[in-house]
């Protein structure tokens, strides 16, 4: 439907002057909701949905749930309805949301910094086995994601999580979501500074705070003392940097994000000491809350505001209106020569070791998580981390215990010396559970890894840096396809016999770090799922054959 400003005037009438419409920015006086999502948030703060779940819905069942809660406010507690089984991806766009809704939920547990004790891991495993049919995926935002959750079980799950110091609060929704942090913060030899105290302080002060629970859209944070958290594609990021005068602190980035309008974040040129990170974070999220665009959902991320204002104006508004002081200028962080995923065995600053292991595309289960917790404890560890690459890391392992732990993890399918494919393939939730999905991803990723391990065994030694392959089930970018060497966006494609089948649009040459930039969508590079392995094999062989010494895929 054409927008009102583009209507053709009726014959004989003078055209009206085009009226400039606001973007729904609160700071400019646009407080009336301009779309249904804004209306829902204004009608009732989403944080209030918890009491209704505990007092009403969990007792009266799925059919008692108010639709505004079911498809809106539940997200603030990590709850989405999952996709009804048996509906193929070709029908995703043709059905109403309620036709895609199953009566079961996905539940996301936020684990800021991916931090877990082995005891917490055991609790997550027990919940998986008792309430989630054994499901428990590691997401690329260091969360654990369950499926098959019944509304009746949610209060008991929250109780178990909260008794163990975990939560689903603001795991989704237009809120400050899980904060990514280095899985090896505080123990890595090559980090500039440990970001953990800042992560914990932000969580303590602001998560679940109604002042920040109605944002224009989601707000993703990354804080790390080294470049291992995909900081370039976050709404806000603090990256460790050594200031020549002031010492270790953080470089501030804002305005990154993927999805359908990908943008690399911009540096504000500001150095922030660790104990000021929470205040600066609060300033930036307040700018977003007050000036962010609320008229169109597609333009509501902070990246659009930063793009329109530019870094300089954004910094000026942050300093003058929110912080009431100037920030210190600072240098850019160092860019690592290769992506950091913490897989393998690495020495810690205290002489012990951390051991990173690779499930395929984050797919684990309750049984495996419990076994990991026990194996870690047998190896003398009480700490496990999830990574932004859908991997697991066991910390604090004394050297003599490392070989036995590696062997135990390998028996669980968690290899510490994985093939390049097992190491570098990521996948989103996909058609199995996601209502927006067009194609299947997790099982496809697992098959792809097994097939590539066989078909490309002869060139495995030639891949000094793994070629990353990321699979998305739809045009959103939960698996960060634009920043992969080979990014695969799920869509329906036409096969050789003219049939409409599941497949992928290919993006080639994206990356972070040294190669920060988005992969190019090449005309005609669409593959069916059945052609996928052969396609990846051809691309990788062409890269190996044609590259100069040391040349990376994205170059
Ligand atoms: Fe769902 Fe699409 Fe995100 Fe995959 S990328 S989890 S299909 S929304």
Summarised one tens digit per residue, pLDDT across range 32-81 is 998 999 999 999 999 999 999 999 999 999 999 999 999 999 999 999 99
In this predicted structure, the answer to whether residue 192 has a pLDDT above a threshold of 70 is yes
DSSP run (H or E) holding 521: strand 520-528
Mutate to test the pocket of ligand 1, among 145, 172, 473, 482 (most ligand atoms within 8 A of CB): 473
User: From the CA of 412, how far away is ligand 1's center (Å)?
Assistant: 27
Closest to 227 in 3D by CA, of 245, 253, 199: 253
Q: Work out the pLDDT band at 439, boundaries 50, 70, 90.
A: very high
Q: What is the pLDDT of residues 119-143, one digit of tens each?
A: 999 999 999 999 999 999 999 999 9
Closest residue CA from atom 3 of ligand 1: 478
CA 90–ligand 1 middle distance (angstroms): 15
- pLDDT of 189 over the 70 cut: yes
What pLDDT shows up at residue 555?
Answer: 65
Nearest CA-CA partner of 102 in 65, 134, 76: 65
Q: Mean pLDDT in the chain?
A: 93
Nearest CA to ligand 1 atom 2: 474
HEC per residue, 115-146? EEEHHHHHHHHHHHHHHCCCEEEECCCCCEEE
With a CB cutoff of 8 Å and minimum separation 6, the contacts of 197 are 274, 275
Q: Is the CB of 472 under 6 A from ligand 1?
A: yes
Asked if 191 and 185 touch (Cβ cutoff 8 Å), the reply is yes
**Which atom of ligand 1 lies closest to the CA of 441?**
4
Gap from CA of 132 to ligand 1 centroid (Å): 20
Report how far ligand 1's centroid is from the alpha carbon of 431 (Å).
8
Residue 54 burial by CB count (10 A; 0-12/13-18/19+): exposed, middle or buried? middle
| Backbone phi, psi, residue 62, to 5° | -55, -45
Note the pLDDT tens digit of each residue in 212-266. Answer: 999 999 999 999 999 999 999 999 999 999 999 999 999 999 999 998 789 999 9
Distance from residue 366's CA to the centre of ligand 1 (Å): 23
Instruction: Tell me the pLDDT tens digit for each residue of 533-553.
Output: 999 999 999 988 887 766 777
Residues 17-34 have a mean pLDDT of 82
List the single range of 258-267, 273-282, 291-300 with lowest mean pLDDT.
Answer: 258-267
pLDDT class of 524 with cuts at 50, 70, 90? confident
425 lines ligand 1 (CB under 6 A): no
In this predicted structure, what is the pLDDT of residue 97? 81
For residue 549, what pLDDT is reported? 65
Burial of 259 (0-12, 13-18, 19+ CB in 10 A): middle
Residue 346 confidence (pLDDT): 97
Q: Is the CB of 430 under 6 A from ligand 1?
A: yes
For a ligand 1 pocket test, name from 83, 100, 429 the mutation site with the most ligand atoms within 8 angstroms of its C-beta.
Answer: 429
Ligand 1 atom closest to Cα of residue 435: 1
Closest-lying ligand 1 atom to the alpha carbon of residue 477 = 5
Name residue 254's beta-bridge partners. Answer: 236, 266
Q: Residue 221: beta bridge partners?
A: 179, 236
Nearest atom (ligand 1) to Cα of 437: 7
The answer, yes or no, to whether any atom of ligand 1 lies below 6 A from the CB of 161, is no
Beta-strand relationship, 486-494 and 500-508: antiparallel
Residue 504: the pLDDT is 96
Rounded average pLDDT over 6-18 = 43
Q: Which atom of ligand 1 is nearest to the CA of 473?
A: 7
Pair 127, 365: CB distance under 8 Å? no
Distance from the alpha carbon of residue 138 to the mean position of ligand 1, in angstroms: 14
100 Cβ inside 6 Å of ligand 1? no
Using a 6 Å cutoff on CB, does residue 300 contact ligand 1?
Answer: no
The neighbouring-strand residues paired with 387 are none
pLDDT above 70 coverage of the chain, percent: 95
Residue 404: pLDDT over 90: yes
Does any ligand 1 atom lie closer than 6 A to the CB of residue 434?
yes
Q: Is the CB of 437 under 6 A from ligand 1?
A: yes
Residue 430 alpha carbon, nearest atom of ligand 1: 7
**pLDDT value, residue 20:** 55
φ and ψ at 455, to 5 degrees?
A: -70, -25
Whether ligand 1 lies within 6 angstroms of the CB of 476 is answered as yes
Q: Does 445 sit in the ligand 1 pocket, CB within 6 Å?
A: no
pLDDT of residue 500: 93
- Residues 80 and 485: their CA atoms lie apart, in Å, by 31
**Cα–ligand 1 centroid distance for 443 (angstroms):** 14
Q: Is the CB of 369 under 6 A from ligand 1?
A: no
As for the ipTM of the complex, it is 0.99
| The pLDDT of residue 550 | 66
Q: What's the whole-model pTM score?
A: 0.93
pLDDT digits (tens, 9 = 90+) for 366-401: 999 999 999 999 999 999 999 999 999 999 999 999
Cα distance between residue 257 and residue 251, in whole Å: 18
For 499, residues 6+ apart whose C-beta sits below 8 A from its C-beta are none
């Amino acid at each position: 439907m054409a927008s009102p400003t583009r209507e053709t005037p009726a014959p004989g009438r003078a055209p009206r002057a085009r009226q400039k419409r606001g973007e729904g920015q609160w700071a400019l006086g646009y407080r009336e909701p301009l779309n249904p999502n804004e209306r829902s948030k204004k009608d009732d703060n989403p944080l209030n949905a918890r009491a209704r779940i505990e007092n009403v819905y969990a007792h009266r069942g799925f059919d008692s749930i108010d639709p505004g809660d079911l498809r809106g406010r539940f997200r603030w507690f990590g709850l989405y309805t999952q996709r009804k089984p048996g509906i193929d991806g070709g029908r995703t766009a043709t059905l109403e949301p309620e036709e895609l809704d199953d009566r079961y939920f996905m539940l996301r547990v936020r684990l800021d910094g991916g931090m877990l004790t082995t005891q917490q891991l055991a609790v997550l495993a027990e919940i998986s086995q008792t309430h989630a049919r054994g499901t428990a995926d590691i997401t690329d935002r260091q969360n654990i994601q369950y499926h098959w959750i019944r509304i009746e079980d949610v209060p008991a799950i929250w109780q178990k999580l909260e008794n163990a110091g975990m939560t689903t609060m603001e795991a989704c929704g237009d809120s400050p979501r899980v904060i990514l942090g280095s899985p090896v913060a505080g123990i890595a030899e090559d980090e500039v500074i440990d970001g953990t105290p800042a992560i914990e302080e932000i969580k303590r002060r602001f998560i679940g705070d109604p002042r920040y629970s109605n944002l224009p859209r989601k707000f993703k944070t990354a804080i790390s003392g080294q470049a291992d958290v995909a900081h370039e594609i976050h709404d806000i990021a603090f990256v460790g940097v050594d200031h020549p005068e002031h010492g270790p602190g953080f470089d501030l980035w804002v305005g990154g994000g993927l999805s359908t309008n990908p943008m690399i974040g911009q540096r504000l040129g500001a150095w922030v000491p660790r104990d000021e990170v929470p205040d600066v974070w609060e300033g930036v999220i307040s700018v977003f809350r007050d000036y962010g665009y609320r008229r169109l959902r597609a333009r509501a991320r902070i990246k659009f505001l930063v793009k329109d204002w530019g870094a300089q104006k954004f910094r000026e508004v942050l300093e003058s209106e929110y912080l009431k002081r100037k920030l210190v200028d600072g240098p850019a962080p160092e860019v690592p020569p290769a992506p950091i995923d913490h897989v393998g065995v690495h020495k810690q600053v205290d002489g012990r070791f951390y051991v990173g292991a690779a499930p395929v595309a984050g797919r684990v289960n309750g049984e495996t998580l419990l076994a990991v917790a026990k194996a870690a404890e047998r190896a003398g560890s009480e700490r496990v981390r999830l990574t932004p690459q859908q991997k697991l890391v066991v910390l604090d392992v004394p050297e003599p215990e490392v070989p036995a732990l590696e062997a135990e993890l390998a028996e669980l399918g968690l290899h510490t010396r994985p093939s390049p494919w097992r190491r570098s393939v990521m996948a989103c939730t996909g058609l199995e559970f996601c209502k927006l999905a067009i194609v299947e991803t997790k099982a496809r990723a697992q098959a792809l890894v097994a097939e590539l391990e066989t078909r490309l065994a002869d060139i495995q030694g030639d891949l000094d840096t793994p070629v990353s392959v990321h699979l998305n089930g739809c045009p959103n970018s939960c698996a960060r396809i634009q920043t992969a060497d080979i990014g695969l966006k799920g869509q329906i494609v036409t096969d050789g016999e003219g049939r409409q089948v599941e497949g992928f649009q290919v993006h080639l040459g994206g990356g972070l770090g040294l190669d920060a930039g988005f992969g190019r969508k090449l005309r005609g590079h669409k593959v069916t799922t059945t052609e996928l392995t052969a396609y990846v094999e051809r691309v990788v062989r062409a890269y190996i054959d044609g590259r100069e010494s040391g040349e990376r895929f994205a170059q």
